[in-house]
Amino acid sequence: MLNHGRALSGAVLGSPISHSLSPLLHNEIFQLLGLTGKYVAQEVKAGELATFLRARSDDFTYLSLTMPLKEEALKLGLPVEASVLVAASANTLVKVESGWQLYSTDGLGFRRALTHSGISTLDRVLILGAGATARSIAQVLDPIAKSIDILGRSRSREGSFSELVKKSDFNFLSWSNQIEFSDFDLVINTTPAGAADSLAERVEKPVATLFDVLYSPWPTALAKRWSDSGAQVISGSELLLYQGLEQIHLVSGVDFDFEELAAPLRKSLNRALL
């Protein structure tokens, strides 16, 4: 943990960013922990991250990264946490004495969200999408899943996953609307809004849990069809919640009970999404 010994000033960067609930989440965490801090949203488009850091670096002690910046951040030549190098995905920039350092809390947050939902062991996992978030998730699932299948639109990303998944059996599947969800016990949608809508018609009576990392707009077409079928659905607000808590844990140096803090935060996020 990094204890800066001063007020925290954070922001979530990405595009589009107006829908983000990260400011609500982080500012409420500050209040609950008695921390002095302020957190805002900043529109930063693809290709603009380096320029933003040069112009605004003195304004922040940490930054959260969302689409489309999680891969772009690795091109900045900054010090990188080991797990970020493996997954080739970063969602957190932390101010250190030498400048900025890259971290990722996506995988840890995802794992905590699964545990909260009562999922600790897995047989067959299907991840929809092959981007930065998918890699972070595959990394933390590798030790606990017997097999991990990736459904991707381009086989150019297959190599990065085959290097990442070492303990689980691994398959890379070309995108197809003919996928059989009944073959899996956990399906994770990491694609952008609308990208997996066409797969909703394949949902009949799944026994799998769907974890959709999106939370706005909610429910997605896939999540609604899944829920209507009677199977368990986990919203992306759970990933937002736990990865945000991991970020505060990282940058504040404060120890806290994650589940105790998550309860009121979950209520606030749910109210905001109504």
pLDDT of amino acid 3: 47
Which of 36-50, 124-138, 193-207 is predicted least confidently?
193-207
User: Are 181 and 126 contacting, i.e. CB atoms less than 8 angstroms apart?
Assistant: yes
Looking only at the bridges linking them, the beta strands covering 186-189 and 122-128 are parallel
pLDDT tens string 211-225: 999 999 899 999 999
Identify the pLDDT of residue 1: 44
25 neighbors 244 (Cβ within 8 angstroms): yes
Cα-flanking dihedrals φ and ψ of residue 147, to 5°?
-145, 150
Per-residue pLDDT, 2: 52
Q: Residue 99: is its pLDDT beyond 60?
A: yes
Mean pLDDT confidence for 173-183: 90
Q: In the predicted model, is pLDDT for residue 6 greater than 80?
A: no
pLDDT at 243 (0 to 100):
98
Select which of 45, 70, 95, 166 is catalytic: 70
What pLDDT, on the 0 to 100 scale, is given for residue 5? 53
* Mean pLDDT of the chain, nearest integer: 94
Confidence class for position 202, pLDDT limits 50, 70, 90 = confident
Pairing of strands 62-65, 37-43: unpaired
Q: What is the pTM of this model?
A: 0.94
70 classed as catalytic: yes
CA dist., res. 257 & res. 90, Å (int):
25
Look at residue 206 in the predicted model and tell me its pLDDT.
Answer: 73
Q: What average pLDDT score do residues 170-175 get?
A: 95
**Nearest 5°: phi and psi at 168?**
-85, 155
Q: What is the mean pLDDT of residues 231-242?
A: 97
Q: What is the pLDDT of residue 86?
A: 83
List pLDDT tens digits, range 34-71. 999 999 999 999 999 999 999 999 999 999 999 999 99
Out of 6-10, 53-57, 149-153, least confident range:
6-10
The letter for the amino acid at 39 is: Y
